[in-house]
Amino acid sequence: MKAQIIKAKNIIAGRELECMENAAVKIENGKIAEIYENASLLPKDMEAEVVDLGDRTLIPGMIDCHNHLALDARLENHLVKMNDCECEQTIRAIKTMKDDLVSGVTTARCLGDRFYIDVTCRQAQREGRIAGPKLVVSGIGMRASHGHGYVGMPFDGPEQFRRQARENIAHGVDFLKVFMTKVINATPFIYHFMSPEELRAVVQEARSVGIPTACHCSGGQGLDDCVEAGIDCLEHVYYITEKQVETVERADRWVVYTPSYALNDTLLFKFSPKDREGSLAEKEIICNCLRGAVKGGLKFGIGTDGLHQGLAQECRYVSELGASNKAVLAGVTVNAAEICGVSGKTGSITKGLAADLAALDGNPLEDLEALKHVAAVYQDGKSIELG
């Protein structure tokens, strides 16, 4: 493939997400081969196709840190649909992958899908048989019997969890996922469903093959148990307390914010078993907790939890919770890549990394709304058809 030069008014480059004005990047063999600080000083004899993005801003392709391929929260009764047959769920996964890619998401971290759909789709995407984000997958999400986890499967006792962890590993997953608590809590006490022994069995299995662990964890004792057991990434943390923020910070763990489920009224009211007033009270509690987590400086990624094409809105919510635009952008690019374990391959506009890029109308460091205006997407240097 002929080398390409992409010029843009702004290029948000490097792991520090520095905004370079009137710069250019050279793409060769699907990788970022060079970054030129001044697009007007490009070598004249260079053989390359030049794409001028004009006033647009070039950012790293976004990474959805918490996704489920066959869960599509845009649909009515989407949770019931998790009982659809394998074939139906796979068809849905292929559609959501395409939808996510055209919204600028070039990598997605999958927190559990039935039937190893995520593992199959990861391979199909790599081989170019289906279009979508590059996938970082966890296979079968593991939950306790009668515990929370619509997309997970039930197990009981450390040995059952251990066995499934090994099964997931044999399928080649990139990390292991467990479900500890509910999503939105309707009671003052936050239920949790896995024992410390079960958690530890999963963490041990993951560590024995050098992969990380993630846990669906809203708060309460369940959150403390996760930190104690050595879970690497805590998902959702809707009810994290001030004290727990300190503990998580000290333990140097990641959190992934999925604020829509608590801040987007349509979704919140759908989930709460209480009336509208109860849901609104819950929303206020959650916002305060999440604000505390952001203020406490926890290192974070951002995810949609199956609200496909909604990553830009999640970013808006995280900024409303107090994060700076740069921290938010890092949560869907450089830091997200760290969480996914792919920072040596993608997640920033850095020489040698994959040319996974998105061109935006507007600069997200000035206004995050720009993330909703994706004008072009590149994956491994290939321009993606957005229509």
Minimum distance from residue 151 beta carbon to Zn ion (Å): 7
Q: Which two tokens stand for residue 58?
A: 């070039």
Q: Minimal distance in Å, beta carbon 234 to Zn ion?
A: 12
Residue 305 touches Zn ion, criterion: CB under 5 A = yes
| CA gap 111, 78 in Å, rounded | 16
113 touches Zn ion by CB under 5 A: no
- Report the residue number, 174 or 305, with the smaller CB distance to Zn ion: 305
CA atoms in the 13 A half-sphere facing the CB of 4: 17
Cα within 13 Å of Cα(275), Cβ side: 1
Number of residues that bind Zn ion (CB under 5 A): 2
HEC profile of 222-242: HHHHHHHHCCCEEEEEEECCH
Considering the complex, state which of residue 100 and residue 305 has its C-beta at the smaller distance from Zn ion: 305
- Closer Cβ to Zn ion, 149 or 364, answer by number: 149
Least distance to Zn ion, CB of residue 149, Å: 8
Least separation in angstroms between CB 228 and Zn ion: 22
* H or E segment to which residue 282 belongs: helix 276-295
| Pair of tokens at residue 18 | 């520095």
Asked if 234 touches Zn ion (CB under 5 A), the answer is no
DSSP string over 192-219:
B---HHHHHHHHHHHHHTT--EEEEEEE
Binding to Zn ion (CB under 5 A): which residues in 20-79?
none
Instruction: Point out which span in 20-28, 30-38, 198-206, 300-308 binds Zn ion (CB under 5 A).
Output: 300-308
Which of the stretches 85-93, 111-119, 177-185, 368-376 binds Zn ion when contact is defined by CB under 5 A?
A: 111-119
Residue 13 or 105: the one with the smaller Cβ distance to Zn ion is 105
Closer to Zn ion by Cβ: residue 32 or 82? 82
* Interaction between residue 111 and Zn ion (CB under 5 A): yes
Which C-beta is closer to Zn ion: that of 139 or that of 381?
139
Q: Report yes or no: 368 and 315 within 8 Å, Cβ to Cβ.
A: yes
Rounded distance, CA 359 to CA 53, Å? Answer: 8
Q: Taking Cα atoms as reference points, which of 47, 60, 58, 51 lies closest to residue 3? A: 47
314 binds Zn ion (CB under 5 A): no
Binding stretches for Zn ion (CB under 5 A)? 111, 305
